[in-house]
Amino acid sequence: MTGETDRKQAAEHLALTLVGAGMQRMAARVLAAFLFTDAPSLTAGDLSEELGASAGSVSGAIKMVMQMGLIERAPAPGSRREHYRMRDRAWTTLYGRQHAPIDDILSAVAHGVETVGPGPARERLIYMRDFYEFLLSEVPTLIERFEAQRSGQHRGESRP
Amino acid sequence: MTGETDRKQAAEHLALTLVGAGMQRMAARVLAAFLFTDAPSLTAGDLSEELGASAGSVSGAIKMVMQMGLIERAPAPGSRREHYRMRDRAWTTLYGRQHAPIDDILSAVAHGVETVGPGPARERLIYMRDFYEFLLSEVPTLIERFEAQRSGQHRGESRP
DNA sequence: GCGAACGTTCAGAAATTTCTGAAGACAGAT
DNA sequence: ATCTGTCTTCAGAAATTTCTGAACGTTCGC
């Protein structure tokens, strides 16, 4: 069955969990709309109507989601409006981006190590610094591994 | 050099970057205080004074940071107050916890896959589901690898 | 050019989050 | 048992974030 209502509900539900994970509310709703649509592209107007939100907030949200590298402009055939669609690597990109703050944390901690004299605090800071350095080097590898594995088996199929 | 003022500044700076990464303000400040102290344990009163915050907000922050598994009660010798200290595995724990939302995202997406009929949207949802499933299985491995590597070389040293 | 349709920006309103201060609860000392 | 110092809870205040609506630009068709 799965009426249009169910689809919207599922989309809103996902948007809310993304908010729980730290994403801005409207940006999450816009992202979910793209994820759940079968249309090849959406315009700001489409989103405004679909989400029942003002043109202003949709504009801001699109800007954010674009900066995150999750959607892109779609070649607009004859149409006057700007069309957008999800990018292919959206999810790995999103995950990679969530690691951007790690850079900042790392430099803050490294500065701490320089500032603090010998003692337990310094040992702790060194441990933390090493851990975040490790992460920073391993995450890209992780993502590559997923992409390789996926294009390898090319499953793209659903389940029972 | 590195006076007490520098230490506090470095701690506050780290707290702010943690806030940028999504942590609550006061919780981040409390955490940084523990990270940067050479004292074997801190009490709520110590923190309140050190951070210039009310007893109420410190209490709430301690509760959060405890629930995150980053600090623990320290055996209090004769003292009437409650003493706390950082846990050993704090940082790997913190990182693991940041992945808790992934569980939620995963089930929201899985539900989406069930709800949506065949089409581009469904393919997208399947890709996303697979990616988050992959993450969920790989992250614990990653952390184990770090811990193994660390206890292996046992470097615990600073740099020039 | 001129007009109309869209998109963007921004000041202010609304909602949410976060902090404080005071009142209450608890544990140990006397 | 009572008192004292310490922690917790909670209602309201303050600050921050987020949304809206209106004014302004831009681009395309005529």
Domain count for chain B: 2
> For position B25, what pLDDT does the model report?
94
The sheet carrying B83-86 orders its strands as B42-43, B83-86, B71-74
Phi, psi of B120 (to 5 degrees): -60, -40
Residue with tokens 């949207």: B121
The residue segments making up the domain with residue B10 are 4-87
The answer to whether residue B113 sits within a structural domain is yes
User: Which of A76-80, B29-33, B40-44, B149-153 shows the lowest per-residue confidence on average (mean pLDDT)?
Assistant: A76-80
The answer to whether residue A124 sits within a structural domain is yes
Q: Does residue B93 sit at the A interface (CB-CB below 8 Å)? A: no
Do residues B19 and A105 lie in contact, with contact meaning Cβ atoms separated by under 8 Å?
no
Nucleotide nearest to A78 (CA to C1'): D28
Predicted confidence band of residue A158 (pLDDT cuts 50, 70, 90): very low
Neighbours of A53 (CB within 10 A): 16
Q: Mark the nucleotides of strand C covered by protein, meaning any atom under 7 Å from a CB.
A: 5-11, 17-23, 28-29
First to last CA, chain A: 16
Distance from CA of A78 to the nearest CA of B (A): 23
Tell which A residues from 29 to 58 touch B, by Cβ distance under 8 Å.
35-38, 40
* Domain end (from A87, A120, A144): A87
Q: Which of A17, A89, A146 to mutate to test the interface with B (most CBs of B within 10 A)?
A: A17
Q: Within this chain, do residues B111 and B66 fall inside the same structural domain, yes or no?
A: no
CATH number, domain of A81, equals 1.10.10.10
> For position B1, what pLDDT does the model report?
56
Q: Does residue B75 sit at the A interface (CB-CB below 8 Å)? A: no
> For position B153, what pLDDT does the model report?
66
Q: Within this chain, do residues B139 and B79 fall inside the same structural domain, yes or no?
A: no
How many degrees, rounded to 5, is the angle at CA B69 between CA B68 and CA B72? 130
Q: Within this chain, do residues A62 and A19 fall inside the same structural domain, yes or no?
A: yes
* Domain end (from B87, B111, B140): B87
Report pLDDT digits (tens) over A24-43. 999 999 999 999 999 999 99
The answer to whether residue B159 sits within a structural domain is no
Report pLDDT digits (tens) over B40-94. 999 999 999 999 999 999 999 999 999 999 999 998 777 789 999 999 889 888 8
Q: How far is the CA of B50 from the C1' of D13 (A)?
A: 24
Spatial neighbors of A64 by CB under 8 A, at least 6 apart, are A24, A27
B35 → chain A, closest CA residue: A121
Q: In Å, how far from its chain's centre is CA A89?
A: 10
Residues with CB under 7 A from strand C: A 43-45, 55-56, 59-60, 62-63, 80-82; B 24-26, 52-57, 60-61, 78, 80
Q: Within this chain, do residues B104 and B51 fall inside the same structural domain, yes or no?
A: no
How many degrees, rounded to 5, is the angle at CA B110 between CA B105 and CA B113? 130
B88 → chain A, closest CA residue: A124
Q: Within this chain, do residues A35 and A76 fall inside the same structural domain, yes or no?
A: yes
Q: In Å, how far from its chain's centre is CA A100?
A: 12
Between A145 and B157, the more confident residue is A145
Q: Within this chain, do residues A104 and A67 fall inside the same structural domain, yes or no?
A: no
Check CB contact under 8 Å for A121 and B18.
no
